Amino acid sequence: MKIFIDTSVLSDLKLPEVADEMVKRRLGADEFYLSAITHFQVLWGYSSAGLSAEKYERLLEVTEMGIAPVTRLDSEEAARMKPKRGDLLDALIAACVKRHDANIWTSDKDFLKFLPKARTRLV
């Protein structure tokens, strides 16, 4: 199974809730991904706060997490979703998840506007 991790799950509060499961599932057949948007958001957060991204980089390494680019097809699919201005990035991420026929783990209920509940795990 392909699983995308949303920025909201990578927070210091939420990550401990799923970290062990991520490692176990990675040891199985599951593959973890971040959209390029999520990757940027996380790195921007560390940079803006003047913090090291070392723990985040270690997580990427341990889980062998891939970074999925957002493509023209994703942009076109997201536009068809007709998101409100505040949901533009979520729609782009959701389109990327759909293109990969994947699920997403998130704390953001807004993803349910763009993805079926069966593909969205709220953490």
3-state secondary structure of 123: coil
Query: Where along the chain do its domains lie?
Result: 2-122
pLDDT in tens, the chain (123 residues): 999 999 999 887 788 888 888 988 988 889 999 999 999 999 999 999 999 999 889 889 988 999 999 999 999 999 999 999 999 999 999 999 999 999 999 999 999 999 999 999 999
User: How far is the first Cα of the chain from the last one, in angstroms, to the nearest whole number?
Assistant: 18
| CATH class (in words) of the domain with range 2-122 | alpha beta
Instruction: Please state the pTM of the whole predicted model.
Output: 0.93
- Give the CB-side neighbour count of residue 119, counting CA atoms within 13 A: 18
